[in-house]
A and B are shown apart, each in its own frame.
Chain A
């Protein structure tokens, strides 16, 4: 890979005394789709929060577009081209659907994504544009959350558990839209517990376990057995032991 879009180098993250990430390294190339999988508490969401700037880290632990951004706050990362679809959607409850989308673009960058383009991607939102966000169904709320992040025209879109709490049919519908998003050259990092979705959508896969990368490879090269072993912390085929087990 030439100069990657995102280069995470030995990232540590802490919540007070608790260390959530231990020397995590990963790369995302421009326009690439990367999945990060792992069980509950593996550090997936923490990793995304670090990249988005919600958790500050060592300055040189995260490089984005060649710049050291580990200590850049979230409100500046938007202008640099990173947008996060947060876990649990977290729409603004007192704003309408349209206002939720507009605020996503308020401090974003110029680019192909606009209100009209998001409405083309998720036509149901055009019908419900003047409705208060909390009155939407879970799937529609997730569409707004994705649209809100797209409005900033990021180079890298971080999607945290977008299938959480949604019916399988709705999840398939949302995942079916992802190629339309990446077609514009936007890179995507998807955090999922649903391995099947994560593998199908991604070119590159990282598996986290207890704050460490325990497996990485192209989606095509990883067998289900290797992923299951990494995911559940079962002793892997090479016979290496996990220290914390």
Chain B
């Protein structure tokens, strides 16, 4: 029963990692951009939610109504105003620029919010549990978080394969030159992709901030978890990110059970092991 409990906790945390990963996978898939500031945007979303909860008296989950569109606008503007100029055959300019953004966001948050750590309070739902079996309890919040992660990934999948915008994403990813012949302006297509990625980041950031303490410096570690989940799942596969997130979450849960100091290390080991055994990832099907 104890093992089952560990696995269950790991799977549920994996949903959060999958949300970290889905936004990364989406923009890499569409425009071959690796956003080094991804983790810092997760933290930025957490702070935006903090402002909304403290300033407007909203609950953190309700604050998503504001934070998701706001982050979407930030993503669109960022892509149009800055990141589009870094795209090309060479990956280096976008890596350098997003690395710079990462530093700017961390220090900006430090300036405004200090280094104090915060946590979003979701109220009674945080401690509510459901009894699954004798000796096996599951928290309502982790369950909700996992359900939202599955819904987000399913939603992205539908968007990609059932809508005109998703068609435009895949076509532009396949062949940006010919996509222009279809009347698609690459710069706008990429901006929409970044807007959606940032919307997912907002959801991930708020759930993360309910779960754990956050301060301006913790973004890069979230980026690492997201990266690991993307690579395990297979670059560019949306459902793969869920599998990758779950594997990472379970490995960390098992590691933490053996010794609390091993939690992160076990996740990294699982990542390296999978990279050795299956460098192309579990589901290497790339959308585009």
Please report A residues at the B interface, Cβ cutoff 8 Å. 52-54, 73-76, 78-79, 83-84, 86, 90, 92-95, 99, 102-104, 106-108, 148-149, 152
Whether, in the assembled complex, B5 has its beta carbon less than 8 Å from a beta carbon of chain A, the answer is no
Picked from A78, A83, A95, A148, the residue with its CB within 8 Å of the CB of B174 is A95
Q: Which of B163-178 contact A (CB under 8 A)?
A: 164, 167-168, 170-171, 173-175, 177-178
Residues of B within 8 A of A149 (CB): 181
Q: Is the CB of A99 within 8 A of B180?
A: no
Q: Is the CB of A78 within 8 A of B170?
A: no
Q: Is the CB of A74 within 8 A of B180?
A: yes
Closest to A145 in B: B178
Q: Is the CB of B185 within 8 A of A75?
A: yes
Residues of B within 8 A of A108 (CB): 183
Q: Give Cα distance in the complex from A116 to B3, angstroms.
A: 57
What are 28 A-B contacts with C-beta separation under 8 Å? Answer: A54-B177, A73-B185, A74-B180, A75-B180, A75-B182, A75-B185, A79-B183, A83-B181, A90-B175, A92-B171, A92-B175, A92-B179, A93-B288, A94-B170, A94-B286, A94-B287, A95-B167, A95-B171, A99-B167, A102-B167, A103-B164, A103-B171, A103-B184, A106-B164, A106-B167, A106-B168, A106-B182, A148-B182
Q: Is the CB of B178 within 8 A of A92?
A: yes
Residues of A within 8 A of B174 (CB): 92-95
Q: How far is the CB of B30 from chain A (nearest CB, A)?
A: 11
Q: Is the CB of A78 within 8 A of B182?
A: yes
Q: Is the CB of B180 within 8 A of A103?
A: no
Residues of B within 8 A of A84 (CB): 181
Q: Is the CB of B164 within 8 A of A74?
A: no
Q: Give Cα distance in the complex from A75 to B172, angstroms.
A: 12
Q: Which of B191-215 contact A (CB under 8 A)?
A: none
Q: Is the CB of A78 within 8 A of B171?
A: no
Residues of B within 8 A of A103 (CB): 164, 167-168, 171, 182, 184
Known: A94-B174, A94-B288. A107 touches B183 (CB 8 A): yes
Residues of B within 8 A of A76 (CB): 183
Q: Give Cα distance in the complex from A14 to B186, angstroms.
A: 23
Residues of A within 8 A of B180 (CB): 53-54, 73-75
Give the interface size class of chain B: 20 to 34
Q: How far is the CB of B236 from chain A (nearest CB, A)?
A: 10
Q: Which of B241-288 contact A (CB under 8 A)?
A: 286-288
Find the residue from A73, A75, A84, A93 having the highest chain B CB count within 10 A: A75
- What string of 1s and 0s marks CB contacts (under 8 Å) between B140-173 and chain A? 0000000000000000000000001001101101
Q: Is the CB of B170 within 8 A of A90?
A: no
Q: Give Cα distance in the complex from A20 to B186, angstroms.
A: 26
Q: Is the CB of A74 within 8 A of B167?
A: no
Closest to A80 in B: B183
Residues of B within 8 A of A92 (CB): 170-171, 174-175, 178-179
Residues of A within 8 A of B288 (CB): 93-94
Q: How far is the CB of B80 from chain A (nearest CB, A)?
A: 15
Q: Is the CB of A54 within 8 A of B181?
A: yes
Picked from A53, A90, A102, A106, the residue with its CB within 8 Å of the CB of B178 is A90
Residues of A within 8 A of B164 (CB): 102-103, 106
Closest to B182 in A: A103
Closest to B166 in A: A99
Q: How far is the CB of A88 from chain B (nearest CB, A)?
A: 10
Residues of A within 8 A of B177 (CB): 54, 90
Contacts beyond the supplied A53-B180, A102-B164, A107-B183: 14 A-B pairs with Cβ under 8 Å? A73-B180, A79-B183, A94-B286, A95-B167, A95-B171, A99-B167, A99-B170, A102-B167, A103-B164, A103-B171, A103-B182, A106-B183, A108-B183, A148-B182
Q: How far is the CB of A80 from chain B (nearest CB, A)?
A: 10
Q: Is the CB of B170 within 8 A of A95?
A: yes
Residues of A within 8 A of B183 (CB): 75-76, 78-79, 106-108, 152
Find the residue from A75, A86, A94, A106 having the highest chain B CB count within 10 A: A94
Residues of B within 8 A of A148 (CB): 182
Q: Give Cα distance in the complex from A14 to B184, angstroms.
A: 24
Q: Give Cα distance in the complex from A159 to B287, angstroms.
A: 28
Closest to B287 in A: A94
